[in-house]
C-alpha cells in the first residue's frame, strides 16, 4: 500500500523524506515523489519506478525547503508512471497532496470540475482532492484557518478512504493531515514534526507518536501540533512511544528482510510466550483481553477472521480451539465475512488475526462484528494500529517489525498465540491442570525446535536449485498441516510467481490429481501424526502417476525417505505445534526458488505489505 511521509521543521526536508520513503519501501509501490515548500514556491519531484530513480532525479534537481510531503504509490487508479505518481498539485500550483486510500466518488467530482474548466494531468483520484482544496482556498486569505477550512470542506465531499498530507504554497511551514480509513500517525520531534502512514517510517527520527483517528485532521508546524475532530474542535490525544529502534528494521547480516525474519522466528516466539505462561495455574495469561471472565466462559462459538497468511494461521487456530477448548470455531475470509450477514448468536466472540493491524477487509469485518454487538479480540503485531485500537481487547504478537512483504515470523507467532489462547479458554472449561502443564512444557520447547528446523537450510537450497524452473507446485497436508500446505503454496506464489496450490491431501482424488505429472512436484507435509498412514497413501497415489515428491518429515523417518524424491527433516513436536515447525522449510524453499528466479524477495511485484484498500 501507499506510504506517506511529511516533515516540517528547521532541517532540509528532502533527505528526511527520502530516508522515510526507504523505510516504507517494504510496503510495496510502483512510483514515488515529493513536494517541498521554499520561498513561496512548491517544488515537485516524482518518478515511476524505485526510490533510487527518484533519488537520481533529485540529485540533478534538488527540492529545497524545510517543509515537505512525500509518497510511495501502489497504483489503484491509473498506471504506474511519472504523471500518476504523487504528490498531485492543483492547477494553480498552490496545493500539493499525497494520499493513501481510495476516493470512491472521484469520478463524478472530476467530471464536475472538468465541466467548470479544470484541466487534469493524471488519471488519479488524488488529483481531484488537490483541485477541490485549491478551489476552496480564498485567493487573498493566507490564514491557517482558511487553509484548514478549505481542506475540511473538501473532505466533506469525499466518499471512500484517505490518509492525506497537504501543503499550501501560501502557508509556509504548515502541514495538514487527515484520516479516514487509512492510517496516519504524527511524529513529535524537537523543533520539528512528522506525518507518516506507518510508524516504522519514523524510526530514527522520533519515538513519540500520536495516532490519528478516523475523521480527525492534524495541524503541524515546526514547534506546534494539534488535532481537530470532524467538527474542527481541538481534541486531546495520547502521545505513545515506539518501542522499536533503527536496528529492528535493518537487514543486519542478512541479504533480505524475509530471510532475517525467518531466522528471527525462534526469538520472536520466545517474545510471544514471555510472561504469558502461568505454571502455578497451568494456563496462559494475557494482559489485554479486556473481556470479563463470564463473557469468555459464555462463549459458545468463535469466529476467526483474517486475510492471506493470517487466514492460514487462523485455520490452525480452528483446530487448536476445537481440540483444547471444545469450542466450535469458524474461520472466515474477512473480505467475505464483512459483506455476509450470517446469523451469529450473542455468545460469539469474533477474533481478528492480523500482522499489520491495518488490513482494510479485516478492519471492516471487525467493525461489522462490533456493530452487531459481538465481543471482539485481535491478534496483532503493530502496537497502536487501527485494528489493535478498535477491538475490545487483544494480544500483541511481539514478533517485532515484519518488513518483508511475505509474512513469516508473524505466522508462527500467530500460531503460538492462538495455542496459548486455546489453552486459556480450555483451562476455563475442561482441560486439567496436568494437561495444561504439559501444553506449557511443549510450548516452551518450540523456539528451540524452530532453531533445529532452520538447520534444513542447505538441504532446502539444494532442492530449490532442482525445482526452480517448474511452472506448477502442489502442497498437500492434512489436519494441522493442511493450513501449512496453503501457507507454503502462498509463500511460493507471492515471491517466485510460480503457480502453487495447497490442498487437503485426501482432496487430491477429487480432481487435482489430474494435475500430477513429472513436471509438477508435490510437497507433502508428512510429520508423524494420527493420520500419517493416510497421507502416505496420498503420497503413493501421486508417486504412481510419476509426480515428483518433496516431503517434509520427521528427522530419521526412513519410510518417507524411501518413498519421496526429496526429504526435508524437521524436529518431532506434538501434532498441534507442527505448523510452527513444518512451515520453516516451506518459507526457505519459497525464498530460495524466488532468488534463483531473480525475483525481488522483499518487494514482490503487485504486492503490498499491508493491504489498506479493499
Segment contacting ligand AGP (CB under 6 A): 156-164, 172-180, 355-363, 365-373? 355-363
**Cβ nearer to ligand AGP, comparing 595 with 611:** 611
* 359 near ligand AGP (CB under 6 A): yes
**Beta strands at 88-89 and 95-100: parallel, antiparallel or unpaired:** antiparallel
The yes-or-no answer on residue 509 being catalytic is no
Question: How far lies 257's CA from each of 14, 80, 332, 588, in Å?
Answer: 26, 25, 29, 13
Question: How far lies 235's CA from each of 225, 423, 545, in Å?
Answer: 11, 41, 67
* 168 near ligand AGP (CB under 6 A): no
The DSSP annotation for 146-180 comes to HHHHHHHHHHTT--B-EEEEEEETTSTT-EEEEEE
Q: Which residue has the cell 514534526?
A: 193
The yes-or-no answer on residue 307 being catalytic is no
Closest contact distance (angstroms) between CB of 285 and ligand AGP is 24
The cell for 515 is 494435475
**Cβ nearer to ligand AGP, comparing 128 with 382:** 382
Out of 284, 348, 356, 391, point to the residue binding ligand AGP (CB under 6 A). Answer: 356
**Cβ nearer to ligand AGP, comparing 166 with 314:** 314
Out of 66, 197, 362, 413, point to the residue binding ligand AGP (CB under 6 A). Answer: 362
Which position among 46, 409, 603, 609 bears the catalytic label? Answer: 609
Contact mark string toward ligand AGP, 297..336, x via CB under 6 A: ----------xxxx--------------------------
**Beta strands at 301-306 and 185-188: parallel, antiparallel or unpaired:** unpaired
The cell for 411 is 505466522
The cell for 19 is 530516508
Out of 440, 610, 612, 613, point to the residue binding ligand AGP (CB under 6 A). Answer: 610
Closest contact distance (angstroms) between CB of 7 and ligand AGP is 27
Out of 37, 44, 325, 406, point to the residue binding ligand AGP (CB under 6 A). Answer: 406
Closest contact distance (angstroms) between CB of 197 and ligand AGP is 14
Q: Taking the alpha carbons of 597, 609, 76, 47 in that order, is the dihedral positive or negative?
A: negative
Residues 487-516 that bind ligand AGP (CB under 6 A): 494
* 407 near ligand AGP (CB under 6 A): yes
* 611 near ligand AGP (CB under 6 A): yes
- Phi/psi of residue 248, each to 5°? -60, -35
Contacts of residue 210, Cβ cutoff 8 Å, sequence gap at least 6 = 185, 186, 188, 218, 225, 227, 237, 238, 239, 240
**Cβ nearer to ligand AGP, comparing 324 with 411:** 411
Total of chain residues touching ligand AGP, rule CB under 6 A: 15
* 405 near ligand AGP (CB under 6 A): yes
* 354 near ligand AGP (CB under 6 A): yes
Burial of 283 (0-12, 13-18, 19+ CB in 10 A): buried
Contact mark string toward ligand AGP, 194..223, x via CB under 6 A: ------------------------------
Q: Which residue has the cell 473481556?
A: 291
Closest contact distance (angstroms) between CB of 457 and ligand AGP is 20
The DSSP annotation for 361-401 comes to HHHHHHHHHHHTT--EEEEESSTT-HHHHHSSEEEE-----
CA distance 303 to 345: 11
**Cβ nearer to ligand AGP, comparing 309 with 412:** 309
* 355 near ligand AGP (CB under 6 A): yes
Which residues are known catalytic residues?
2, 609
Q: Which residues bind ligand AGP (CB under 6 A)?
A: 307-310, 354-356, 359, 362, 405-407, 494, 610-611
Amino acid at each position: 500500500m501507499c506510504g506517506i511521509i511529511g516533515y516540517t521543521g528547521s532541517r532540509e526536508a528532502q533527505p528526511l523524506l527520502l530516508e522515510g520513503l526507504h523505510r516504507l519501501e517494504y510496503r510495496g509501490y510502483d512510483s514515488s515523489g515529493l513536494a517541498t515548500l521554499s520561498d513561496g514556491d512548491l517544488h515537485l519531484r516524482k518518478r515511476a519506478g524505485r526510490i533510487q530513480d527518484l533519488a537520481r532525479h533529485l540529485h540533478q534537481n534538488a527540492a529545497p525547503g524545510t517543509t515537505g510531503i512525500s509518497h510511495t504509490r501502489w497504483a489503484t487508479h491509473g498506471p504506474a508512471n511519472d504523471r500518476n505518481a504523487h504528490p498531485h498539485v492543483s492547477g494553480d500550483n498552490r496545493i500539493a497532496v499525497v494520499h493513501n486510500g481510495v476516493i470512491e466518488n472521484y469520478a463524478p467530482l472530476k467530471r464536475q470540475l472538468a465541466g467548470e474548466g479544470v484541466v487534469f494531468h493524471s488519471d488519479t483520484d488524488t488529483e481531484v482532492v488537490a483541485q477541490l482544496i485549491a478551489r476552496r482556498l480564498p485567493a487573498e486569505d493566507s490564514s491557517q484557518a482558511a487553509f484548514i477550512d478549505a481542506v475540511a470542506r473538501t473532505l466533506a465531499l469525499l466518499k471512500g478512504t484517505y490518509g492525506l498530507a497537504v501543503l499550501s504554497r501560501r502557508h509556509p511551514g504548515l502541514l495538514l493531515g487527515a484520516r479516514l480509513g487509512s492510517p496516519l500517525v504524527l511524529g513529535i520531534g524537537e523543533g520539528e514534526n512528522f506525518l507518516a502512514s506507518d510508524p516504522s517510517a519514523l524510526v530514527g527520527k522520533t519515538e513519540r507518536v500520536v495516532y490519528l483517528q478516523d475523521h480527525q485532521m492534524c495541524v503541524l508546524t515546526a514547534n506546534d501540533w494539534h488535532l481537530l475532530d470532524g467538527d474542527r474542535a481541538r481534541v486531546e490525544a495520547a502521545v505513545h512511544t515506539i518501542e522499536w529502534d533503527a536496528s529492528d528494521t535493518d537487514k543486519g547480516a542478512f541479504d533480505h528482510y524475509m530471510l532475517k525474519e525467518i531466522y528471527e522466528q525462534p526469538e520472536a516466539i520466545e517474545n510471544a510466550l514471555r510472561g504469558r505462561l502461568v505454571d502455578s495455574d497451568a494456563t496462559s495469561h494475557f494482559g489485554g483481553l479486556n473481556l470479563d471472565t463470564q463473557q469468555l466462559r459464555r462463549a459458545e462459538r468463535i469466529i476467526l477472521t483474517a486475510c492471506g497468511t493470517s487466514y492460514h494461521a487462523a485455520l490452525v487456530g480452528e483446530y487448536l480451539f476445537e481440540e483444547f477448548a471444545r469450542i466450535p470455531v469458524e474461520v472466515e475470509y474477512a473480505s467475505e465475512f464483512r459483506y455476509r450477514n450470517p446469523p451469529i448468536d450473542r455468545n460469539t466472540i469474533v477474533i481478528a488475526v492480523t500482522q499489520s493491524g491495518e488490513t482494510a477487509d479485516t478492519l471492516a469485518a471487525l467493525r461489522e462484528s462490533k456493530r452487531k454487538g459481538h465481543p471482539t479480540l485481535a491478534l496483532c503485531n503493530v502496537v497502536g494500529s487501527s485494528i489493535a485500537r478498535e477491538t475490545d481487547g487483544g494480544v500483541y504478537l511481539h514478533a517485532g517489525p515484519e518488513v518483508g512483504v511475505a509474512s513469516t515470523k508473524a505466522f508462527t507467532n500467530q500460531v503460538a498465540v492462538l495455542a496459548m489462547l486455546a489453552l486459556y479458554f480450555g483451562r476455563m472449561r475442561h482441560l486439567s491442570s496436568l494437561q495444561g502443564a504439559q501444553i506449557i512444557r511443549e510450548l516452551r520447547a518450540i523456539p528451540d525446535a524452530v532453531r533445529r528446523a532452520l538447520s534444513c537450510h542447505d538441504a532446502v537450497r539444494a532442492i530449490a536449485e532442482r525445482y526452480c524452473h517448474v511452472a506448477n507446485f502442489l502442497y498437500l497436508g492434512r489436519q494441522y498441516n493442511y493450513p501449512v500446505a496453503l501457507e507454503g503454496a502462498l509463500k511460493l506464489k507471492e515471491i517466485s510467481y510460480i503457480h502453487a496450490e495447497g490442498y487437503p491431501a485426501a482432496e487430491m482424488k477429487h480432481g487435482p490429481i489430474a494435475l500430477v505429472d513429472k513436471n509438477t512436484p508435490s510437497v507433502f507435509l508428512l510429520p508423524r501424526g494420527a493420520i500419517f498412514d493416510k497421507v502416505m497413501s496420498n503420497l503413493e497415489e501421486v508417486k504412481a502417476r510419476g509426480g515428483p515428491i518433496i516431503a517434509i518429515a520427521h528427522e530419521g523417518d526412513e519410510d518417507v525417505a524411501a518413498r519421496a524424491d526429496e526429504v526435508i527433516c524437521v524436529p518431532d513436536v506434538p501434532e498441534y505445534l507442527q505448523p510452527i515447525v513444518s512451515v520453516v522449510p516451506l518459507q526457505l524453499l519459497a525464498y530460495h526458488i524466488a532468488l534463483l528466479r531473480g525475483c525481488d524477495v522483499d518487494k514482490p511485484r503487485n504486492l503490498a505489505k499491508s493491504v489498506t484498500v479493499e
